[in-house]
Chain A
Amino acid sequence: MFSQRQLQRCLLRTRFCRVNVRGRRLIQTESLQSAEENVNVYKPILPSKKYEFKINTDQKSEMVSLYEACVFTNDFVRSAQLLGRIAGYNAMDENMYPYIELYLRHLINSGSFTLDSMIRTTRAILKKSKLPGNSTIYAYYFQAALLKEAEESGYPVLHRMAVEWRYRKGRVVDILSQTSVLNSEQIQKIIRILNIPLESLSSNQLALFGFQPSNLAEKDTVRNTAEEEESQPKAVPATEHVYIDKIKSKGMRLSALLKSLNNISVSPENLPVDEVSLEKVPSSELVNLARQKLLEKSAVASAIDLWKAEYEDTFHRGGALPKNKEASALFYQWYTELKEMFNQENKRLDAFYHRIETNAGNPYIAEGFCGPFLKLLKTEKLAALTIIEVIRSISSISSQEEVEETHGVLISRLTDAVGRSFEREFLSERIQVEEREGKLRIRDNLKYVFNNPRAFRAAVKELRRNADENDGKWKHALESWPRYVTTKIGAIAVSLFLQAAKMDIKFKRPDTGDNTKESVFAFAHTYQYIHGRKSGVLRPRVELLKLIASEFQNPLIHPQMLPMLVRPKPWVQWDKGGYYYSRESIIRLKGCTEQLDYVKEASRKGHLKKVYNALSALGDVDWRVNRFTFDVIVKIWNLGEGMLSIPPKNVEVNLPPYPKQALNPNDRVAWYSLRDKLSREKATAHSQRCDFNYKLEIANSYLNERFYFPHNMDFRGRVYPISAHLHHVNNDFCRGLLEFAEGKPLGPNGLSWLKVHLANLFGISKVDYASRQKFVDDNIEQVFDSYDHPLEGRKWWTSAEDPFQALAAIAEIARATRSGNPENYVCHVPVQQDGTCNGLQHYAALGRDPDGAHEVNLSPNDRPKDVYDAVAKIVISRLEQESAKGDELATALKDKIDRSVVKPTVMTNVYGVTYVGAKNQIISQLEKRGDIPKDMLNNYSSYLTKMVFRALRALFERAHEIQDWLSTCSYLISNSLPAEYIKEGHKDKLTPTIWTTPLGFPIIQPYRNFKKRQVQTNLQSVCIEDRDRVASVEPRKQAAAFPPNFVHSLDATHLFMTCLKAKEAKITFASVHDSYWTHACDVEQLGSLLRQAFVELHSQKIMEKLRNEFRKRYKNFMISKDIARRYDLFISSEDADKKWVPLKIPLLPSQGTFDLTKVLESKYFFS
């Protein structure tokens, strides 16, 4: 049992994909399509295993990462020691092989080894892990022997190895088949040395080993194929001039970023032809693909080039000393300094080279731990990445709350981000190296392969196998450096950066009045109490923030995660898709990788094809920058004044005088809170302006480009673009800046839909379509005025709820109307159709609730129903009733309620808003009215929240029954345990809620009580959460989050289904969760498709399937009798006196009579 636990623990830590240890834990990803289907039983892992691995690094995963880092930095002594330890904890585990192979591969590549010691070390490791060795390892032995043994010696070691392998009943042919290790020349040599008769090999094997083919007929056909393949690169020069033109006409930034590309374009043979030709893209996109690859590859280097160029430029313009006006010049100074510091740091770290024992708390050893990681990248890259990451953190708002509270960046977050960016860059380099090696191998054999049909087939097969292979072979996992590692190395980088980042500030001396300047640190590492906890914060100087926020031409773009210049790689696997040189996971997991195992398994079984297709289709939509809104925004920006969501350049603060010597100290408190508020606003405005600048900068770079957003999902299946910052799921500002690159003529109804779209953006969405069109027609003069004089005219567009999107729509309407022939006008702006309270729509459909369905437009109505209005009316009528009974609160409130007061609560109710959350929403809505005394707000909102909840329950009774059922099931499940665990005496709550969406996507709720851990870094100690999948679950959170997560998984499924249908119908489709976008001319068609998808989705008896899945998945699970009683579960008489009783999934609530097909006729279902 002991070794089994060890093994399991190791499997967890090292992120191996399949875990199947004597039925302990099996991965279940089968979607329950029929009741008969077998469901594997999922069993949680015992927490006690967690403590069985006590090794010096404290954490297993850190050791594996350290091992990888040592191998890549050619530190073979240390890596062998680490591998030996890992082997000790992984006895009998075949998954050790890839790690040993990695070691051998790099050792042989380095060339600095002796054959005997290599074999001795590997054998010791194999012995420790109780494994005999496989054909790949022997292939490496052979390779090493060929390299190290002299021909005259007769290759004794090679012979010995062959004998040994045969003694183990292995076939030498299996070793020779390891073509990923041995090239054909080596194989042939080995065959010669070992005197293997060629007759004993099959023709397939001969072809694979590079012997001449015999079948000439096949040869011809393949030659043709080969010629086709070879002809593709020739297409490149034909399109080359287009490419160069494009470069010339592009925005400034990108051209700078692609500087290296420009150089390469002169010599077409240097273009990544092989890469391009092997990808499945239309030939017209080959050049862009090459550009995309180079963009991803050389982004960091280009950023440095750009800084250097601007630094030198400033140097030339400004005379003797560089001016600090240009941010990039400043960055270049920091860069050169930081690079030198990293060099020194590396030298210092070398001093600890052999002190490999890691032990937190001892500084010597901690540094020895970080050394190999820092050596993985060149110091130039380390320096540039650190600067880019810090600047990105302070200039883009990740969380509004954080900016408001800290005026800076949390150290814990920053160190992790910097460390993570190192890892990404390293990964990207690895992918490039591996690709290059792969290409070389093919190129060596290219002629050969193309002349030989069998070899060609074998090569293609191998390529495919490599592409599809995921398990077994060593592969650097995504985000595999544990947070401990990223935090530690990030802290080293940030602490060096803090010393390097200085800036000159000019000021007037107060005593003499002279202008002078002083060089000060640009950042300070300070502390602040946040939510009662002392947190380290990195605060930039205000002068730096101003510098970043004021200049539009700042080269701040983070090289990673930019929009793509070509269609993203289609998703074919959990980590294959999207960008070319950065591996992204298909799901965004916040550290807890449990779900990934399920997704991999589902992917392996081919259950995720539809999801992959839909995600790829979403990424295939081509976008461009809307030039009209871009120009308007740039004008606003350059004016420096605040407008709409764009904050002003200079924020003026009017603070009343400080109440000195106040009799009532509360006056002082009030003054301080006002001061804090104003200062927060000022800081937020700065940060927001930085954030806007950042987005605008990206838009500027991509001004004349056609670009794409690769997408991935959160754990519930909701879709998001991977590209950060500028994308259509972002705020109104970003949405207004983007439009479809491909235009389509408006057609007969397109203009009307554009008008409906505009009215929706003005918030007029609860009237029929004709009235919405009329609204625009009535204001057509305003439309023209806004188009002609967006900033000088009456600025009607600014009164819209989403002004920048409205401006884009206005421009299209104005142009189309003026064109005289709107039907032929080519329109690019996406028209949006939103669901009416989409969560409630799904609930109503699940419960077939006729009343609820009517309220959320599932059934046909003449005009759209307004659910907020309906709830508000119920609340008002109840208040009136209570008021008549003499309730004072009701009397005071009855005239103060309208749609807006209840709207946020109704909207979020379905997504699991709590009582406290709803109360706060109502408080803020009541505050906005301004006629309610502050001291009464609390009482009023408490009263009203209860009222709104009751009204919602009355209106959507069945929806609430389903919600209750879902959360009850989840609560019961999280409190249950497999029967044998209970026999063993385990009581920890370990079972998460797991379900499968109708498209086969497995979802695991990640809410667990993760343990916190202090990490000592050279900046400060950082508290990190161990995202450990064996932590106990949080039953309350699991239960509270399940209904909203389940509904989110349904709306995501609806989106996927609609997307697939749209793809089939060749309609452009983009989406923001429950808002579906397409061209104006395709709105009707998309409308019909999305309704069909909805009906199809809900015709699947989702709830029955879910219950069925639960019953099978949690069969033989036990629950404590107290909880079973609390939830009125059936307890048989034989269990009556037991403490634990079998878990029974409650019966489903009854369904209503709503006819789903009515949705097909509902005009305002999505409108």
Chain B
Amino acid sequence: MSFRLLPKRKYDDVKAGNFINPGKVQLAKNNRKDKPQSSPYLINQDLMDKALEASNLKQQYSPNLTIVEMAPAAGVMSTSLYNYFKPKKHILLESRDTFFDPLRKLSNQTGGRMQLIEKEGFKWSTYSELIQSQILQATRQSEEEQAASPHQELLFAAHVPIHYYGLLFTSQIVEYLASRDWLGYYGRVRVLLWLPRSPAITILTSQGFRNRSMTAVRREAFIDTRVLVGNQSIHDGLMKRCPSKPKYSQYLPKPIIQPPDELKFMEPLHDGHILVELTPKPFDNSLSLSLFTQVIKGLLYISRGKLKDSLELLGAGATNLIPAIRDAGVDVELPNFCLSAEDFKTITRIYERWPLRDPLKEDECV
């Protein structure tokens, strides 16, 4: 099957004014309060093309590549990804009917390679359905393959909505990639996400940043991260949260392409978006993920407290672990937000070996 490049998407075709409620994503409703969320989408194909070129990702994928793209909207990112990776299959998960026409037009030009699925990408069950109906077929990586390289036949890309649902979606993706759930089931599947400001800041914070969250620690521990596109305003926003910049700013991932702040490449709401690439690290069998979660959750309840003072958050008597933790090279005088992911892993391993661990607390066995 010959491959034909898609024509470049122009601003006049994709601008928000062409569509009815273009940014409103019909999220899977959990309760009455779930209203359609706002999900901005890319309008500047040049920026995406440049970012992909700079990323050098093409070499890492085989011709059998399948791209799963969530919320492609007007299809600017889809066109760019399609033209760059030339995938065997490109699945578009879109539930907003306002975008069905342009996406259908796009897919019609690809000779069946691009396929529009009119389903909600926010619903986890959508992916199980894709697999069951064999629309998505991918091979599962063995542990050895995972150790060697990321998945070469599967790539996930998405526009993430703003506010709470964006944050929720991003943190869940990070968690699932780390624990090899969802698409992580197939191995080290790479993910490209256009993130609005709030999830971007949450996910990128590193050690030494006051707003260090569980998601950020998980990302640092289990996922290699590159910022393909990121502007100065996000960087400034991040640095505001770092009290001792000279010591910790080095841990912040640097953007490969830095567009000027005045360039608006998202519609209908431009909120200083960034494009991140998340690639899971090889699986670490020696670490209990649920205990690791318990440790970071417990310690980050009071992220500014000193480690030695907040160990009891793990359970009554956990302060007895201080000597062991100190011996392992972790500075117990540091506030919790200044601990690195490796420190948290060390604490988890020590905590796991502690016979007096409270069995009622969250664990894989009750």
By the criterion CB–CB under 8 Å, are B124 and A524 in contact?
Answer: no
Interface size class of A (residues with CB under 8 A): 35 or more
By the criterion CB–CB under 8 Å, are A663 and B358 in contact?
Answer: no
Q: Take A525-B312, A526-B313, A666-B125 as given contacts and tell me if A520 and B366 are in contact as well, using a CB distance cutoff of 8 Å.
A: no
Q: Is B317 an interface position by the 8 A CB rule?
A: yes
Q: Which residues of B contact A884 (CB under 8 A)?
A: none
Interface size class of B (residues with CB under 8 A): 35 or more
* Stretch of A93-101, A676-684, A867-875, A1026-1034 at the chain-chain interface: A676-684
Query: Out of A541, A653, A662, A663, which one reaches B317, CB within 8 Å?
Result: A541
- Closest A residue by C-beta to B186: A663
Interface residues of A (CB under 8 A from B): 407, 505, 507-510, 518, 520-527, 534, 539-542, 653, 655, 658, 660-666, 668, 675, 678-679, 682-683
Q: Take A520-B320, A521-B317, A664-B124 as given contacts and tell me if A542 and B302 are in contact as well, using a CB distance cutoff of 8 Å.
A: no
Q: Which of A407, A510, A668, A683 has the most CB of B within 10 A?
A: A668
Contact sample, A vs B, 27 pairs, CB 8 Å cutoff: A505-B317, A505-B356, A507-B355, A507-B356, A524-B314, A524-B315, A524-B316, A526-B313, A526-B315, A527-B301, A539-B316, A540-B316, A541-B315, A541-B358, A542-B359, A658-B364, A661-B180, A663-B185, A664-B125, A664-B128, A664-B182, A665-B124, A665-B181, A666-B125, A675-B366, A679-B360, A682-B366
Q: Is B172 an interface position by the 8 A CB rule?
A: yes
Q: Is B353 an interface position by the 8 A CB rule?
A: yes
Expressed in whole angstroms, the Cα–Cα distance for A540 and B312 within the complex equals 12
Query: Out of B131, B181, B290, which one reaches A661, CB within 8 Å?
Result: B181
Q: How far is the CB of B269 from chain A (nearest CB, A)?
A: 26
Q: Which residues of A contact B180 (CB under 8 A)?
A: 660-661
Expressed in whole angstroms, the Cα–Cα distance for A140 and B260 within the complex equals 82
By the criterion CB–CB under 8 Å, are A666 and B353 in contact?
Answer: no
Q: Is B298 an interface position by the 8 A CB rule?
A: yes
Q: Which residues of A contact B301 (CB under 8 A)?
A: 526-527, 534
Expressed in whole angstroms, the Cα–Cα distance for A996 and B116 within the complex equals 70
Flag B274-318 by CB within 8 Å of A: 1 or 0 each: 000000000000000010000000100110000000001111111
By the criterion CB–CB under 8 Å, are B127 and A522 in contact?
Answer: no
Interface of B is mostly: helix
Q: Is B184 an interface position by the 8 A CB rule?
A: yes
- Closest B residue by C-beta to A545: B360
Q: Which of A509, A518, A663 has the most CB of B within 10 A?
A: A663
Query: Out of A508, A521, A661, A679, which one reaches B312, CB within 8 Å?
Result: A521
Expressed in whole angstroms, the Cα–Cα distance for A507 and B359 within the complex equals 13
Q: Take A518-B320, A663-B185, A683-B360 as given contacts and tell me if A539 and B315 are in contact as well, using a CB distance cutoff of 8 Å.
A: yes
Expressed in whole angstroms, the Cα–Cα distance for A534 and B298 within the complex equals 12
Expressed in whole angstroms, the Cα–Cα distance for A663 and B301 within the complex equals 30
Q: Which residues of A contact B316 (CB under 8 A)?
A: 520-524, 539-541
11 further interface pairs, Cβ-Cβ under 8 Å (given A520-B320, A525-B312) = A518-B356, A521-B317, A522-B317, A524-B317, A542-B359, A660-B179, A664-B127, A665-B172, A668-B179, A675-B362, A682-B366
Q: Which residues of B contact A679 (CB under 8 A)?
A: 360, 362, 366
Q: Take A665-B172, A668-B181 as given contacts and tell me if A542 and B358 are in contact as well, using a CB distance cutoff of 8 Å.
A: yes
Q: Which of B302, B314, B356 has the most CB of A within 10 A?
A: B356
Expressed in whole angstroms, the Cα–Cα distance for A534 and B302 within the complex equals 10
Within 8 A of A (CB), among B122-157: 124-125, 127-128, 131
Expressed in whole angstroms, the Cα–Cα distance for A472 and B290 within the complex equals 64
Q: Which of A521, A524, A542, A653 has the most CB of B within 10 A?
A: A524
Expressed in whole angstroms, the Cα–Cα distance for A679 and B356 within the complex equals 17
Q: Is B319 an interface position by the 8 A CB rule?
A: yes
**Would you list the 3 A-B pairs with minimal beta carbon distance, nearest first?**
A520-B317, A524-B316, A527-B301
Q: How far is the CB of B319 from chain A (nearest CB, A)?
A: 7
Q: How far is the CB of A327 from chain B (nearest CB, A)?
A: 16
- Closest A residue by C-beta to B129: A664
Q: How far is the CB of B364 from chain A (nearest CB, A)?
A: 5
Expressed in whole angstroms, the Cα–Cα distance for A505 and B124 within the complex equals 44
Query: Out of A527, A660, A662, A682, which one reaches B360, CB within 8 Å?
Result: A682
Flag B322-366 by CB within 8 Å of A: 1 or 0 each: 000000000000000000000000000000010110111010111
Expressed in whole angstroms, the Cα–Cα distance for A574 and B280 within the complex equals 69
Q: How far is the CB of B156 from chain A (nearest CB, A)?
A: 14
Q: Take A524-B317, A526-B312, A683-B360 as given contacts and tell me if A661 and B179 are in contact as well, using a CB distance cutoff of 8 Å.
A: yes
Q: How far is the CB of A133 from chain B (nearest CB, A)?
A: 54
Q: Which residues of A contact B366 (CB under 8 A)?
A: 653, 655, 675, 678-679, 682
- Closest A residue by C-beta to B364: A658
By the criterion CB–CB under 8 Å, are B364 and A524 in contact?
Answer: no
Within 8 A of A (CB), among B154-194: 172, 176, 179-182, 184-185
Flag B207-236 by CB within 8 Å of A: 1 or 0 each: 000000000000000000000000000000
Q: How far is the CB of B203 from chain A (nearest CB, A)?
A: 18
Q: Which residues of A contact B290 (CB under 8 A)?
A: 658
Q: How far is the CB of A687 from chain B (nearest CB, A)?
A: 11
Query: Out of B182, B184, B185, B313, which one reaches A524, CB within 8 Å?
Result: B313
By the criterion CB–CB under 8 Å, are A407 and B320 in contact?
Answer: no
Q: Which residues of A contact B302 (CB under 8 A)?
A: 527
Q: How far is the CB of A1075 from chain B (nearest CB, A)?
A: 38
Expressed in whole angstroms, the Cα–Cα distance for A958 and B316 within the complex equals 58
Expressed in whole angstroms, the Cα–Cα distance for A539 and B359 within the complex equals 13
Q: Which residues of B contact A522 (CB under 8 A)?
A: 316-317
Q: Which residues of A contact B315 (CB under 8 A)?
A: 524, 526, 539, 541
Expressed in whole angstroms, the Cα–Cα distance for A520 and B179 within the complex equals 33
Q: Which residues of A contact B358 (CB under 8 A)?
A: 539, 541-542
Query: Out of B181, B313, B317, B365, which one reaches A655, CB within 8 Å?
Result: B365
Q: Which residues of B contact A509 (CB under 8 A)?
A: 355
- Closest A residue by C-beta to B316: A524
Q: Which residues of B contact A665 (CB under 8 A)?
A: 124, 172, 176, 181-182
Expressed in whole angstroms, the Cα–Cα distance for A522 and B172 within the complex equals 35
Q: Which residues of A contact B125 (CB under 8 A)?
A: 664, 666
Q: Which residues of A contact B355 (CB under 8 A)?
A: 507-510
Q: How far is the CB of B215 from chain A (nearest CB, A)?
A: 15
Query: Out of A508, A523, A526, A666, which one reaches B298, CB within 8 Å?
Result: A526
Q: How far is the CB of B179 from chain A (nearest CB, A)?
A: 7
- Closest A residue by C-beta to B183: A663
Q: Which residues of A contact B172 (CB under 8 A)?
A: 665
Q: Which residues of A contact B314 (CB under 8 A)?
A: 524, 526
- Closest A residue by C-beta to B302: A527
Expressed in whole angstroms, the Cα–Cα distance for A655 and B362 within the complex equals 13
Q: Which residues of A contact B312 (CB under 8 A)?
A: 521, 524-526
Q: Which residues of B contact A675 (CB under 8 A)?
A: 362, 366
Q: Which residues of B contact A518 (CB under 8 A)?
A: 317, 320, 356
Q: How far is the CB of B135 from chain A (nearest CB, A)?
A: 14
Q: Take A518-B356, A524-B315 as given contacts and tell me if A663 and B320 are in contact as well, using a CB distance cutoff of 8 Å.
A: no
Q: How far is the CB of B336 from chain A (nearest CB, A)?
A: 12
Expressed in whole angstroms, the Cα–Cα distance for A682 and B366 within the complex equals 9
Expressed in whole angstroms, the Cα–Cα distance for A769 and B363 within the complex equals 56
Expressed in whole angstroms, the Cα–Cα distance for A618 and B90 within the complex equals 79
Q: Which residues of A contact B181 (CB under 8 A)?
A: 661-663, 665, 668
Q: Which residues of B contact A521 (CB under 8 A)?
A: 312, 316-317, 319
Q: Which residues of B contact A505 (CB under 8 A)?
A: 317, 356
Expressed in whole angstroms, the Cα–Cα distance for A192 and B255 within the complex equals 99
Q: How far is the CB of B130 from chain A (nearest CB, A)?
A: 10
